[in-house]
Amino acid sequence: MTNDLRIDLAGTPFSRRGSYFALSKLDQRHARGLFLRTVHGGVRQAELMRFVVGGDDAPLARVEPGRLTLRGGDSEVEVALEGSGRALVRLMRGTVVLEAQVLSQYDVVLQESAGVWRFIASGANRNYRIVVFGGESELDTGWDGVKGTATRLILRADTQPVTVTVDEFASTPPEISRPDVDAVIADAERDFAGWAARHGHETDDPGLLRAVRLAAFVTWAALVPAGGALRRESMLMSKNWMTNVWAWDHCFNALALWRDPDAAAGQLLTLFDHQDVHGSIPDYVNDLGIEPNFVKPPVHGWAIGFLLDRNGLTRDAVEQLYEPLAGWTRWWFEYRVYGDDGVPSYNHGNDSGWDNSTVFGGGVPVQSPDLPAFLAVQMTTLARMAELLGRDNEAERWRRESGRTMRMMLERFWTGERFVARHTLTQDPIESDSLLTFMPLVLGDDLPRAVVDRCVERLLDGAYLTVNGLATEPTDSAHYIPDGYWRGPIWAPSTMLLVDGLHRAGHRDLADDIAGRFVRMCIRHGMAENFDAVTGNGLRDLSMTWTASVFLTLVAAPATHALLGTATATDWATHR
């Protein structure tokens, strides 16, 4: 099998597990070309160096898990990444120019000694030591009396390769050490092979195999080590620009790791590490810090239940997660209920995860039917966890609370024909056909059969289901926008939640059909943040881990493989 991942760097960056570096092709007003970038949180300027290979500022690129090969003219360059902050550039032949992005008077490249430079990158809030081993090199700074206007490191390889190290540091540079580039490449290849073997899927279909390897690479390459505000290895949503861990995205990434219970628990705990004393968890976290102004929907109980069904969490993980999940559940009722009806609200579309859904088109706060549904599922999961921990009285209490919450949801939001959201203060129903109003289906067979069947009828009759899956706004709606974020495009999380709920509600054929459509779309169009519901084209960030994780989760199901006409050696655990 070839190691070539057939990746377009304009969509999926080259990186590796544990690295805060990524290489991407950019076509933006301030940055055009191939760049070495930092993916640390909170930086003002992510682009560090532009590569010009053999005079070509758009070199041909071949991506393997451990190596990026660039060719332009008669020149060839290899790039590998090591540790959290080291990039290795090996010029095999010809020339390469590394253009440091000095964009302000506080950016500067200075020479420390022969072949050794320091790049003070103020926008990245870091320093970089650049060391050249062998060959010819020169630095053109273009100093204008105040700052460098164009800082170019020019490298030439005649008879022997030239190797360059770029080391990230804060105030004290690391010791100079000549790298073993081939050993670094081999280490990355081995690590990816192990990851893909554990979290990918076996198949004889070449198109599906390419998509599985892409999804495995997207998730593997997005992992960053513990450090700063991140207290454990964590999977960023992307190494493009979605370089955070959001507080519901991480749940879907945990699903795909069910074969490795410690890894799955680690992804869940990444956000709970920052739970406040009241029980809330932040909107997102990165190595720099957290965003506390918003939250995300409480799908954590659903995700934990999904993992428990597959023996994807250890008893120790259940014990670690139980009290944080209980606190997160109570928080909604203690701090987000604004009247005497006991119904929690979203303060903003961001809190629901569906930022600009038409549910929020008339203002906030909003009582949306998905929220009590998620909380009811979460309470059921807490009951299961309590039983596993021998807390039978607590388990019974959580089951009672789950039943009460589900009855409240039906009384407040079910009209007899559909679920509606309501304005919190007036209790007026909100005119919205957003797919968000179908999320109570996540309750599966806990919902009355008549309610499930009516929701399914409306789903099938309402211009939601396209050849690619479920649009988040009906395609015949006046509010539908092909690239409208949550007003039309297909998303991985909404697909996964509804596929799971429909499966448990007894509509397995429909669930498997939706899963198959989504998987086929990903095979054709990659692991984008979201997709045009009609064409299937990837939109926004084109390399999102929760999309890759949902793809890997769905493609493991035998029913999905039957729809795709392929076979798998993966066992799919019995669903609850």
Percent helix, strand and coil across the chain, each rounded to 5? 35, 25, 40
Residue 315 lies in a domain: yes
Tell me, yes or no, whether 140 and 272 share the same domain: no
Q: Give the CATH number of the domain where residue 26 resides.
A: 2.70.98
- Are 333 and 481 contained in the same domain? yes
Print burial letters for 515-536: b (CB count within 10 Å at least 16), e (below 16).
Answer: bbbbbbbbbebbbbbbbbbbeb
Reported as a single tens digit per residue, the pLDDT across 294-306 is: 999 999 999 999 9
Determine the average pLDDT of the residues in 170-187: 93
Whole-number pLDDT of residue 97: 96
Mean pLDDT, range 406-431, rounded to an integer: 98
Average of per-residue pLDDT across 323-349:
97
What is the C-alpha to C-alpha distance for residues 298 and 378, in angstroms, rounded to an integer? 7
Q: What is the pLDDT of residue 564?
A: 62
Which residues have a Cβ under 8 Å from the Cβ of 179 and sit 6 or more positions away?
A: 82, 86, 88, 163, 165
Q: Are residues 204 and 181 in the same domain?
A: no
Residue 194 lies in a domain: no
Query: Do 117 and 213 reside in the same domain of the chain?
Result: no
Is 548 domain-assigned? Answer: yes
Question: Does 161 share its domain with 213?
Answer: no
Res 412 pLDDT > 70: yes
C-alpha dihedral sign at 275, 530, 490, 561: negative
Q: Domain check: are 99 and 222 in the same one? A: no
- How many domains are contained in the chain? 2
CA distance linking residue 494 with residue 435, whole number of Å: 8
Position 76 in a domain: yes
- Asked if residue 386 and residue 247 are part of one domain, the reply reads yes
pLDDT, position 89: 98
- C-alpha distances out from residue 574 to 32, 53, 101, 310, Å: 49, 53, 53, 7
Whether 572 is in a domain gets the answer: no
Are residues 93 and 241 both part of a single domain? Answer: no
**Contact indicator for 502, 508 with CB cutoff of 8 Å:** yes
9 located within any domain = no
Q: Is 246 helix (H, G, I), strand (E, B) or coil?
A: strand
Q: Which domain holds residue 63?
A: 21-188
Q: Which of 188, 221, 251 is the last residue of a domain?
A: 188
Mean pLDDT in residue range 431-454: 98
* Pair (162, 304) in one structural domain: no
Rounded to whole angstroms, what are the CA distances from 402 to 34, 325, 387, 443, 530? 52, 14, 15, 11, 32
Domain end marker among 159, 188, 217: 188
- Find the CATH number of the domain harbouring 514: 1.50.10.10
Q: What value does the mean pLDDT of the chain take?
A: 94
Q: pLDDT tens digits for 274-295? A: 999 999 999 999 999 999 999 9
pLDDT for 370-394, tens place per residue? 999 999 999 999 999 999 999 999 9
Residues 515-543 have a mean pLDDT of: 98
> pLDDT digit string (tens) for 22-52?
999 999 888 899 999 999 999 999 999 999 9
Q: Which of 125, 160, 188 is the last residue of a domain?
A: 188
pLDDT at 568 over 80: no
Q: What is the token pair recorded at 401?
A: 């609370």
Q: Looking at the predicted structure, is the pLDDT value of residue 141 above 90?
A: no
What's the predicted TM-score (pTM) here?
A: 0.95
The secondary structure of 191-207 as a DSSP string is: HHHHHHHHHS---S-HH
- pLDDT bin (cut points 50, 70, 90) of residue 362 is very high
* SS3 category, 412: helix
What would the mean pLDDT of 174-203 be, rounded to a whole number?
A: 94
Determine the 3-state secondary structure of 120 from DSSP: strand
Please indicate, yes or no, if residue 121 is contained in any of the structural domains. yes
Q: How confident is the model at residue 3 (pLDDT cuts 50, 70, 90)?
A: confident
Q: State yes or no: pLDDT of 571 exceeds 80.
A: no
What distance in Å separates the CA atoms of residue 90 and residue 75, rounded to the nearest whole number?
Answer: 11
Q: Is residue 3 part of a domain?
A: no
How far apart are alpha carbons 209 and 219 in whole angstroms?
15
Indicate if 370 and 490 belong to the same structural domain.
yes
| CB proximity list for 469: less than 8 A, separation 6 or greater | 490, 495, 514, 517, 518, 521, 531, 533
Q: Are residues 167 and 243 in the same domain?
A: no
Looking at the fold, whether 132 and 253 belong to one and the same domain comes out as no
223-263: pLDDT as tens digits:
999 999 999 999 999 999 999 999 999 999 999 999 999 99
